[in-house]
A and B are shown apart, each in its own frame.
Chain A
Amino acid sequence: MQTWTKLLIIAAVATVLIIAGSYVYFQSLIRTRLLISTTTSLYETGLLNATKQAFEAKYPINLAFIAVGTGQAIQQAQGGSVDALLVHSPSQEAQFLIGGDGVCRKIIAYNFFTIVGPASDPAHINGSSVTTALQKIVDYGRNHTTSRIWVSRGDGSGTHTKEKSLWAKANFNYTRISAESWYASAGQGMSQTLNMANEFDAYTLSDTGTYWKLSKDGTVSLVVFITETKDLLNVYSVMAVNQTKHPSVNFTNAVTFIKYLISDEGQQLIDNYGKDTYGRSLFHSTVQLLKENSTLQIVQWIKDYAFIKEGNESYECPPQYRDSRYPELYP
């Protein structure tokens, strides 16, 4: 048996060597790696990759985005597995801060969801408000029970959550209408949902980025009916995972990343993204807007939708969730 003992020792050593080898090979990445969990819809627009390239040109920090559903992204951050969180769900972000898991929230961009549908507009929602449009769609559906007139993400994503809040605002019982025959639940990502709506000649709620990408390719022939209204506002924020609660996070680098996003260069990148490919911006910067505290309608909308209430005030980031070492984040 002696030879076999020797062999097992060789196997152990070789295993360690192989693993150590691959570890060292990737180590340079890992040491300066910043893990940011984010949502698939934001990731797939390509904005994050563009940001990564620009950021890494300036800093010796490696950005690693982990794109999952909003819920899972937040959970990962709560588990301390990532260093920063980039999502677009203000209510859940508030919970994240209150739970003590996050600090230094900054709103970095906004755009709008859109309600898109077939050019023929069978439910005649053109020109209506969101609530009216939804009502018309429900009416149409109930009168034409054989066709599917609305497609939903149905996957618990940020977009899906937004859709549910819109139905609630229009006074519909979500459980009830989602079971009706005209309501189709895709249970998948945004592109598959849009494809399905395209097939059914149905309406759906979509984020701008995915819609414009598919529309430009000619994959879908749906048109935009409602956008740029308060109900459809979509606000993106970044937060660092709280170092006090999760000591293993890469906090300093997370702050560097946040600073970059809110810098002039970062904000400009956000504003310009998509102009070349789609002829229009997919995102709009927010830092300057909020700093000037102007009376523009959009500012008010953002404050109403995405700010967090603390006592009588509402803040982008309530003071107790800021890190006193970095006052420059909140001039």
Chain B
Amino acid sequence: MPTTIQRQSLSRAISVGLRSSMNMLDGLIAALQLSFSVDPRIIEITLRSLFVSGSAALIAALWGIPIATIIAMKDFHGKFLIKTIFNSLIGIPTVALGFLLFLAFSRENGPLGFLRLLYTPTAVIIGEAILITPIIVSLATTAIEAVDPEIANLAKTLGASESQASFAVLKEALEGIFLAGIASFNRAIGELGIAQFVGGFIYGQTELLTTGIWVELQLGNPRTSIALMIILLTMVFTINLALNAIQRMRGREWKPLLNSET
């Protein structure tokens, strides 16, 4: 037979639970409203995130694809070692990389401090580009290696020079390379460690989606936090879904896109 106190505690627990669920629902609805509104700050944060991570993905692709082509198509000493190194660099924790870059860009003691890059979006672009280059190199290498090795020879029998033949191989691997690029963009826009350490979260200057979610929560604005989270998740999920759909149409299964820790 529950005692009075126990009954009171139980009813209180239920009311607390109901209250917080209502609050949560309330908050969720408000957050949804916020994320779909045209709040200029939210738009600014979203656009800046896209610009920063997009630039990082572009830079990583510019470097990564030629490197991947060389690794995939040439035989050289230490090829296996290099591939292993790139593969393992994929999992580098962003806090570690972020902290390292923070030290490097530090105004006073950092070797790159004179560039005054700390707490700027540029620093985040550089950091994220470094972070995702191993991803694009690894995935692009796999994509190129999956191409029939005789394609290069075929191109040559049709009159192609060495470089023209390499381009023919690249063209065959284009889909895989494109997916590698998307995967790396995904990783960049969803990472927190680098954005935090070298970006800060300076109002109007370096606010990004991921740091935004974190900081707004700290500052006691869960609605803004959830709104940003909704935007980020929608973006990432849409990209993933679209890619899966494309892969399914071409009749192949896609490995889940990399999304380890922050």
Contacts and interface: CB of A to CB of B under 8 A. Distances in A.
B108 A189 contact: no
A215 interface: no
A43 B219 CA distance: 8
A29 B118 CA distance: 13
Nearest to B63: A11
Given A18-B58, A189-B219, A66 B202 contact: yes
Interface string B105-125: 011110001001111111001
Q: How large is the interface on A (under 10, 10 to 19, 20 to 34, 35 or more residues)?
A: 35 or more
Nearest to B124: A22
Nearest to B113: A248
Interface string A23-60: 10010011000010000100110000100100000000
B16 interface: yes
Contact of B69 (A4, A23, A65): A4
B182 interface: no
Given A80-B108, A189-B217, A64 B62 contact: no
A49 B118 CA distance: 21
Contacts, number: 105
A86 to B, nearest CB: 14
Nearest to A37: B200
Given A15-B63, A22-B55, A213-B220, A80 B122 contact: no
A1 B163 CA distance: 7
Contact of A19 (B118, B122, B215, B219): B122
B122 A11 contact: no
Q: How large is the interface on B (under 10, 10 to 19, 20 to 34, 35 or more residues)?
A: 35 or more
Nearest to B73: A4
B33 interface: no
A141 to B, nearest CB: 17
A67 B113 contact: no
B107 A8 contact: no
B84 interface: no
B201 interface: yes
B80 interface: no
Interface of A: 1-4, 7-8, 10-11, 14-15, 18-19, 22-23, 26, 29-30, 35, 40, 43-44, 49, 52, 62, 64-67, 79-81, 188-192, 199, 210, 213-214, 219, 246, 248-249
10 residue pairs, one from A and one from B, having the closest CB atoms: A191-B220, A80-B108, A3-B163, A44-B219, A11-B62, A64-B202, A189-B218, A7-B66, A66-B200, A22-B122
Given A30-B116, A188-B218, A192-B220, 7 more contacts: A2-B163, A4-B70, A22-B122, A30-B120, A44-B218, A79-B108, A81-B108
